[in-house]
Structure 1
Amino acid sequence: FTSGGTEGNNLAIKGTALMHRSRGKHLITTEMEHPSIYEAYKQLEELGFDVTYLSPDEDGFISVEKVAEALREDTILVSIIHVNNETGAIQPISEVGQFLKNYPKIFFHVDAVQGIG
Structure 2
Amino acid sequence: MEDFYLTIPYGLLVLAGGIIGYVKRRSTASLAAGVGFGGLLLAAGFASLRAFQTHSISYLALTLETVCALVLMVLMGWRFFKSRKVMPAGLVAILSAIMSGFYIYKMATRKHHVISVSSV
Q: Same fold (TM over 0.5)?
A: no
Q: Which structure has the highest strand share of the two?
A: 1
Q: Which structure would you say has the larger Rg?
A: 2
Please, what TM-score do these two structures have when normalized by structure 2? 0.34
Q: Which structure has the highest helix share of the two?
A: 2
Please, what TM-score do these two structures have when normalized by structure 1? 0.34
